[in-house]
Amino acid sequence: MRSQPLPRPRLRPFWRIREALSLGFFLVAVYTLLEIAIPRSVVQSISMEPNLHAEQRLLISRVSYLFGEPQRGEIVVFEPPNYRPGTPPLIKRLIGLPGELVEFRDQTVYINGVALDEPYLNEPCQPNHCDAASWQLANDEYFFMGDNRNHSHDSRAFGPITREHLIGRAIFRWWPPADWGILSYSYGDSTTPPE
């Protein structure tokens, strides 16, 4: 006597709809969490040349500043003063940390009286773009500048930025494909090397 094959269980349409909804909810949740933790940003200008170019796309890590402190030399995305929703945030290099004295003298940046080594710069700053000035940072203020000093709207114009306006650290360049790569940081500060 031949044994009969067992009938295949049939999924009811309700279960198929439920599975599809569960998968859709899961994908939306994952996408939302990624956007919160690792948002994307677009370089809008030439202010960070030669290290970043206009129209490049970056991944930003919000998590970096939830569990750690911003470090000098990092490329940071932040909301400038008078930020309006819908306008792009700025992308600049972190130069001055809370409590420090940032000075411009003879087209050179000084941190607490010590000249800052800046190998990432595009070109020497011209006198008409780097007037002698100083900023004493408060305990929650950061000072940002573009690598292309002669063509950057940064803290020299709008002043220091408080911690609450920092969005995150730029960690990866993902577009265009020819420029893919992890962003490296030139700390250039012999007085406080990165940890």
Catalytic residues, which ones?
47, 92
∠ CA(100), CA(104), CA(110), 5° rounding?
45
**DSSP state letter for 151:** G
β-strand partners of 169:
61, 76
Q: What ranges make up the beta strands (E) of 15-146?
A: 40-42, 57-61, 75-78, 90-96, 101-105, 108-111, 114-115, 133-136, 141-145
Say which residues have a Cβ less than 8 Å from residue 149's Cβ, sequence separation at least 6: 121, 122, 123, 125, 129, 130
CA distance 30 to 3: 47
Residue type at position 112: N
The H or E element containing residue 170 is strand 166-175
- Comparing C-alpha atoms, which of 81, 47, 57, 108 is closest to residue 165? 81
